Amino acid sequence: MSLLFFGPAMLFVFPAHAHGGQEKSAASVPADAQAHALPRFSAMAGDFELSGVLQPAEPGRRTRELQLHLQPRNGAGSLDADAARLEVVLDDLALQARANGGGNYSLILPVGLSGQVALQVRISQGGLNETVTASLNLDEDAAEAAEAAKKSRGPSRQVLLAGLLTLVIFFIGALLSWREHRGRKRK
């Protein structure tokens, strides 16, 4: 009798998992193990390749950092990516990127920029001046951060309802079992 009550409830509680040659779906992989792509861009100039990744805001801060990587293109081996000067223009706002070594640069974005922004990066090294253009969606990381915060709040509503349903079914099963046991003692 108790299997009649407890069996269906267990179907709601146990997580899905793969058997044998089956593959796990994205839904069965824990949220922490799923990768999130950050907003990025890449552009090429005559002698350089430039790529950038927008880092999310640190907890307690509203500013975001744009990390840039500059490297010489094939055939431009005499150019030094570390000696270049990068000036980034974001929607008519000119900012100077800070060199971090190894062809890496960083730029703190001002608060208030959002949506799709046009990037214009002026690369200067010695007598060489190149300009590359790209666009970057600044709202993509905000949507990911909101989704990550939502997932970190705790169990979802479905999990809580499944747990509550399991408790109710357990209570009803225990009550019926107790009444049946009590009825046998009286006879």
* Alpha carbons 32 and 168: distance in angstroms, whole number: 31
Percentage with pLDDT > 70 across the chain:
68
* Alpha carbons 13 and 42: distance in angstroms, whole number: 45
**69-77: average pLDDT:** 77
**149-178: average pLDDT:** 83
Q: pLDDT value at position 76?
A: 60
User: Would the pLDDT of 121 be above 50?
Assistant: yes
Kindly report the pTM of this predicted structure.
0.55
**147-164: average pLDDT:** 74
User: Would the pLDDT of 20 be above 80?
Assistant: no
Strands, DSSP E only, in 8-92?
A: 40-44, 48-55, 64-72, 85-90
**21-35: average pLDDT:** 46
Helices 2-13, 157-186: axis angle to 10 degrees equals 170
Mind listing the domains of the chain with CATH numbers?
Answer: 40-139 (2.60.40.10)
